């Protein structure tokens, strides 16, 4: 049978002139998602990908069966107490989506199903369904929730009466990512998005009233900023958060007086970031970079008069410790921080003024804050995991310092963590900076250069890639893979400066750090070039594109998921979601300095006549974060420029967005497809 022929996108030159410099974009026409030509091209790419991967159908099925075989298909989360109820989620074998439940008073009480996403999907015929908000009213009689049914993150808010099971007629469309109840249990504050999907306006809704008449309370006209909502754990204050990437402003409203006006804590001041982390006994607890605290410090302010002049240092800035967040309870304060790349917890009894650090059982691990809705609680819920330890939901008693594992995610199929090894090693970047790499592999995996290795990276927005457990990964480790995470600059693993050294006019550090990590793995004998695969998603897809241009000979295979690869064109177009807000991440190319710098690394603009590795690219047609046409244009250009005969596959999710398939089984099929591409390409 002849090999499938890859599709060729027609060349239709389009000139873009900026700062007197003209770029000719041959595939600009792919931006029109309603064009029959565009849809035909995308479908042709999908058809080609399916044809090339057809011989891996059995392998994909095997991988999928392995992954499903490791999960407890019918399972239940660790219950969380909120008021008089225990809240939890559960899944049922064969069902794609989560079921949200609660029990009154006791964990063995009769179950109440609050929201069954499977039933909703079946009732309405949704092929895609994602839950956004899930907010129970203070009296626990009502549930406000939002749904996205197409992957475009077009959220609709609905309210359900939990006593009768009826859905109220109040339906709010085009809402944003946050909403909060006032304490009267009848008033909802919510945000709405503008044309660029920025949460830009704040509204107040009274149940039973016409949403079209909801009063507009705030409109954020500075497009660098978005509008979000929060609420203090003690239910005293509603929080209005006006935030850009670099600057933040909070406003307070007594949750008992929903018709009053929000009060400014401290007006926005360029470069000043602060978060109202909690409230207790008339005092606000702030996490802030004020006074040059690069890694943040903890300060307090009187809630009645919280202006900047009233801020007092509670925990001073420490150069080696980054403060991420603070949990404030009736009698305790818990500081979430990061030191030497690892997350830490420090507990203070606010009544006795005694402090202790929480100890953890492994040298390399990570934590995720759990749900802790109760203010009057002496227990902290968090999730603990490592590269070899499945996620455990832990209740930590803040006074007795006892640690109770409420639930550990089951890993079926005979998984034994003793059969696997994790370690942290260090690569040296081009400028001499030491870059941490987290590794996990099966015991006995050779270190003679023969082992396949998958190196993952992200490196943007200050997002840290944590050394956490993934059961799916065992399908690679058990086939001899080494899995590596490159903790490159642009993330925040080593503190705020780590992030700042990988953004704006330092962005190239992100790419060269990753290349240094790959080369170190080869030099240290963990793998060799012909056995190295690299992978990144979204901004990590930008990383893949830049690395492929800078060092096309680094790896044998690359996977770029929903990659942000047309940096200059996107950042010049302020009509695209995220563009203006992200001027504070990448810079504004209307400034020639940033234009020239971005142009030097933008993957689409730097595709060369060179030999590239095997590449798999994915996109979501409805993706509002990375427009589908960025990877589409990149693939089309690669097809005409690359000089190799290696595979270049493009898989487009025609009914999904940034996060691909929404169902848990469909997601596993997507992972199996990617793993099959890796294994087949590496001859395994």
Could you give the residue numbers annotated as active site? 538, 623, 658
Reduced to 3 states (helix: H, G, I; strand: E, B; else coil), residue 558 is strand
Query: Which of 492, 524, 502, 342 has its CA nearest to residue 426?
Result: 524
- Is the alpha carbon torsion for 91, 92, 93, 97 positive or negative? negative
- What does the alpha-carbon distance between residue 376 and residue 379 come to, in Å, rounded to a whole number? 9
Burial of residue 416 (CB within 10 Å: 0-12, 13-18, 19+) is: exposed
Strands 453-456 and 434-442, sheet pairing: unpaired
Going by C-beta distance under 8 Å and a sequence separation of 6 or more, which residues neighbour residue 3? none
- Is the alpha carbon torsion for 168, 174, 178, 181 positive or negative? negative
- What does the alpha-carbon distance between residue 16 and residue 672 come to, in Å, rounded to a whole number? 40
The pair of structure tokens assigned to 392 is 């455990």
Estimate to the nearest angstrom the gap between the alpha carbon of 275 and the chain centroid: 20
- What does the alpha-carbon distance between residue 205 and residue 451 come to, in Å, rounded to a whole number? 59
- What does the alpha-carbon distance between residue 261 and residue 186 come to, in Å, rounded to a whole number? 17
Q: Report yes or no: 382 and 395 within 8 Å, Cβ to Cβ.
A: no
- Is the alpha carbon torsion for 99, 105, 106, 108 positive or negative? negative
Angle at 305 between CA 302 and CA 307, to 5 degrees: 95
- What does the alpha-carbon distance between residue 90 and residue 98 come to, in Å, rounded to a whole number? 6
Concatenate the DSSP letters of all residues of 262-277 into one string: -EESS---TT--EEEE
Longest dimension (CA), the chain: 78
Taking each helix axis from N to C end, the angle separating 508-523 and 539-550, rounded to the nearest 10 degrees, works out to 70
Q: Report yes or no: 589 and 18 within 8 Å, Cβ to Cβ.
A: yes
Long-range contacts of 139-145 (CB under 8 A, 24+ apart): 139/185, 140/82, 140/83, 140/84, 140/85, 141/185, 142/168, 142/181, 142/185, 142/207, 143/114, 143/115, 144/179, 144/181, 144/188, 145/115
Going by C-beta distance under 8 Å and a sequence separation of 6 or more, which residues neighbour residue 394? 370, 381, 382, 383, 384, 403, 404, 405, 406
Q: Report yes or no: 152 and 130 within 8 Å, Cβ to Cβ.
A: no
Estimate to the nearest angstrom the gap between the alpha carbon of 338 and the chain centroid: 18
- What does the alpha-carbon distance between residue 593 and residue 208 come to, in Å, rounded to a whole number? 53
Q: Report yes or no: 90 and 77 within 8 Å, Cβ to Cβ.
A: yes
- What does the alpha-carbon distance between residue 203 and residue 209 come to, in Å, rounded to a whole number? 13
């Amino acid at each position: 049978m002849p090999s499938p022929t890859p599709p060729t996108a027609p060349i239709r030159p389009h000139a873009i002139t900026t700062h007197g410099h003209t770029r000719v974009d041959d595939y600009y026409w792919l931006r029109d998602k309603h064009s029959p030509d565009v849809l035909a091209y995308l479908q042709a790419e999908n058809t080609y990908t399916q044809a090339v991967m057809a011989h891996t159908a059995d392998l994909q099925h095997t991988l999928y069966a392995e992954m499903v075989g490791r999960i407890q298909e019918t399972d239940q989360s660790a219950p969380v107490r909120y008021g008089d109820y225990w809240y939890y989620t559960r899944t049922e074998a064969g069902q794609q989506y989560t079921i949200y439940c609660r029990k009154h008073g006791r964990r063995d009480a009769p179950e109440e199903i609050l929201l069954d996403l499977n039933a909703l999907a079946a009732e309405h015929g949704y092929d895609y369904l994602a839950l956004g908000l899930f907010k129970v009213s203070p009296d626990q009689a009502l549930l406000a929730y939002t749904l996205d049914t197409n992957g475009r993150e077009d959220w609709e808010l609905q309210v359900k009466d939990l006593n009768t099971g009826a859905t109220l007629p109040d339906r709010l469309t085009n809402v944003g990512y946050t909403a909060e109840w006032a304490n009267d249990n009848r008033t909802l504050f919510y945000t709405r998005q503008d044309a660029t999907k920025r949460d830009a306006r704040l509204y107040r809704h009274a149940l039973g009233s016409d949403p079209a008449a909801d009063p507009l309370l705030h409109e954020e006209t500075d497009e660098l900023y978005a509008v979000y909502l929060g609420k203090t754990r003690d239910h005293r204050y509603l929080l209005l958060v006006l935030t850009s990437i670099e600057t933040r402003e909070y406003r307070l409203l007594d949750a008992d007086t929903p018709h009053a006006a929000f009060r400014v804590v401290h007006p926005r001041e360029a470069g000043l970031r602060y978060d109202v982390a909690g409230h207790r006994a008339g005092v606000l607890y702030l996490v802030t970079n004020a006074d040059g605290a690069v890694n943040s410090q903890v300060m307090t302010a009187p809630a009645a008069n919280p202006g900047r002049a009233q801020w007092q240092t509670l925990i001073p800035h420490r150069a080696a410790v980054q403060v991420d967040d603070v949990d404030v309870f009736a009698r305790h304060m818990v500081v979430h921080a990061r030191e030497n790349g690892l997350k830490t917890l420090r507990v203070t009894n606010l009544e006795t003024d005694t402090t202790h650090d929480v100890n953890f059982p492994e040298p390399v691990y990570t934590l995720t804050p759990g749900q802790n809705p109760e203010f009057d609680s002496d227990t902290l819920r968090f999730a603990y995991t490592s590269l070899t330890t499945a996620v455990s939901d832990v209740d930590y008693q803040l006074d007795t310092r006892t640690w109770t594992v409420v639930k550990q995610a089951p890993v079926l199929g005979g998984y034994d963590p003793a059969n696997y090894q994790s370690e942290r090693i260090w690569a040296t970047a081009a400028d001499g900076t030491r870059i941490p790499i987290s590794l996990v592999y099966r015991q006995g995996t050779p270190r003679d250069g023969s082992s396949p290795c998958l190196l993952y990276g992200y490196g943007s927005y200050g997002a840290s890639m944590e050394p956490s457990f993934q059961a799916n990964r065992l399908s690679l480790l058990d086939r001899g893979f080494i899995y590596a995470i490159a903790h490159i600059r642009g993330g925040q693993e080593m503190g705020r400066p780590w992030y700042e050294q990988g953004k704006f006019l330092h962005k190239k550090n992100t790419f060269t750090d990753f290349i240094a990590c790959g080369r170190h793995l080869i030099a240290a004998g963990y793998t060799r070039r012909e056995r190295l695969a690299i992978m990144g998603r979204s901004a990590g897809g930008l990383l893949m594109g830049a690395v492929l241009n800078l060092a096309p000979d680094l790896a044998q295979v690359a996977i770029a998921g929903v990659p942000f690869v047309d940096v200059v064109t996107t950042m010049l177009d302020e009509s695209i979601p995220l563009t203006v807000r992200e001027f504070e991440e990448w810079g504004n190319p209307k400034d020639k300095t940033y234009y020239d710098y971005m142009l030097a690394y933008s993957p689409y603009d730097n595709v060369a006549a060179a030999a590239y590795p095997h590449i798999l690219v994915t996109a979501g047609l409805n993706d509002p974060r990375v427009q589908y046409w960025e990877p589409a244009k990149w693939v089309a250009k690669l097809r005409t420029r690359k000089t190799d005969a290696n595979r270049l596959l493009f898989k487009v999710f025609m009914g999904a967005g940034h996060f691909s398939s929404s169902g848990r089984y469909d997601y596993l099929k997507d992972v199996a497809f990617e793993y099959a591409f890796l294994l087949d390409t590496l001859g395994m």
